[in-house]
Amino acid sequence: MKSLVYHGPGKLALEDKPKPSIKVPTDAIVKMTKTTICGTDLHIKKGDVPTVTDGRILGHEGVGVIEEVGGSVTNFKVGDHVLISCITSCGKCSNCKKGMYSHCENGGGWILGNLIDGTQAEYVRIPYADNGLYPIPAGADEEALVMLSDILPTGFECGVLNGQVKPGDTVAIVGGGPIGLASLLTAQFYSPAEIIMVDVDDNRLEVAKKFGATKLINNNDGKAIEKIMELTNKRGVDVAIEAVGIPSTFDVCQAIVAAGGHIANIGVHGKPVQLNMDKLWSHNITLTTRLVDTVTTPMLFKTVMSGKLQPKKLITHHFKLNDVMQAYKTFGNAMEEHTLKVIITND
């Protein structure tokens, strides 16, 4: 089968790999119909995620059709259309029982496209299929539902919920890529008074304005901190959401968080950052990190199906699986190509 394979930092290739097979009775084999590229995949490509080894098929998002099920799978049958969660969970261990699926103790967590082969291929093996798949109703917009695999629950759980966004809050989202925009869309569930979007790309800032941002700051001049402090009468923001994963954006969040506020980190950090405890120790802040658990996926699924949340507007480009290398190039050159999310179709 055609597969997008990682061969070390900076090295990706479209290759033929063996079709996966059922290994244990809780597995399912899914024929991929649509997948996408995540910002985390770009971090993998750069070498920021050392758990991804040479030969791994990338990808942890998508929708497809069940091709085969193991003998213990009870919720799905061959031919079902399904949404694939980026997180695998057994549903039985102590972490899963408290909703921390990302740290499943029985070989789950974020394993697709990381510790096992992923979704940027014609077929994928899904462990614990009863927990890692969601049925797609007939007639649903499957392209839109791809956004539920990862970015919407990640933006919501790691940014909005961890940041404890409340009515009347001033929120700054540092990073206007797809994950920052997912945080922007879902933060509006809680009616914050202001949502400030910070980026270096005017196109993404304009998109953020259309999606509900109330203030836009282009940080090309490196003056985002002073601009935000001016906007907030030197108070800072109640919630600073870090949605990039580099030291400079984390530094912005540290500098703009108000006393008693929250820094909610979403970004995948490949390098250490400096924590300015000399200033923050007495500032009464909360700093949170999180790997998405996807516990909110069922709720988000309902909001998408009802039309109240419209993630399809995040999609800007379409490619065939044969053109996945071009898709990576386009996604990686987001400023030049005006890219948000890409859809890769396997016909």
Q: pLDDT tens across 69-121, in order?
A: 999 999 999 999 999 999 999 999 999 999 999 999 999 999 999 999 999 99
Q: How far apart are CA 150 and CA 148, in angstroms?
A: 5
CB 334 within 8 A of CB 201: yes
Starting at the edge strand found earlier in the chain, the sheet holding 2-6 runs: 12-16, 2-6, 56-57
pLDDT digits (tens, 9 = 90+) for 184-200: 999 999 999 999 999 99
Task: Compute the Cα dihedral for 212, 34, 64, 150 and give only its sign.
Answer: negative
CA dist., res. 215 & res. 56, Å (int): 41
Contact 184, 213 (CB under 8 A): yes
- Residue count (the chain): 347
Residues 222-279: pLDDT tens digits?
999 999 999 999 999 999 999 999 999 999 999 999 999 999 999 999 899 999 999 9
Q: Could you give the CA distance from residue 327 to residue 310 in angstroms, rounded to a whole number?
A: 23
Residue 22: the pLDDT is: 98
Q: Where are the alpha helices (DSSP H) in the chain?
A: 39-46, 94-97, 129-132, 142-146, 151-154, 178-187, 202-211, 224-231, 247-256, 277-280, 297-306, 324-332, 334-337
Alpha-carbon gap, residue 38 to 179, rounded angstroms: 9
First to last CA, the chain: 12
Residue of 101, 122, 4 whose CA lies nearest to 52: 4
| Cα–Cα distance for residue pair 146/150, rounded to 1 Å | 8
The span from the CA of 14 to the CA of 27, in Å, is 25
Residue 220: DSSP 8-state: G
Q: What is the dihedral of CA 182, 339, 147, 244, to 10 degrees?
A: -40
What per-residue confidence (pLDDT) applies to 165?
98
Distances (CA, A) of 39 to 169, 206, 264: 27, 20, 17
Burial class of 68 by CB neighbour count within 10 A (0 to 12, 13 to 18, 19+): middle
Q: Whole-angstrom Cα distance, residue 89 to residue 294?
A: 10
Residue 202 has pLDDT above 90, yes or no: yes
Please name each of the domains of the chain with its CATH number.
2-149+293-345 (3.90.180.10), 153-288 (3.40.50.720)
pLDDT of res. 347: 77
CA dist 213 and 207 (Å) reads: 9
Tell me 78's DSSP state. T
DSSP β-bridge partners for residue 315: 341
Residue 290, pLDDT score: 96
Helix, strand, coil percent values for the chain (each to nearest 5): 35, 25, 40
- Closest by alpha carbon to 148, among 36, 4, 241, 57? 36
pLDDT digits (tens, 9 = 90+) for 125-169: 999 999 999 999 999 999 999 999 999 999 999 999 999 999 999
Convert the pLDDT of each residue in 291-325 to its tens digit: 999 999 999 999 999 999 999 999 999 999 999 99
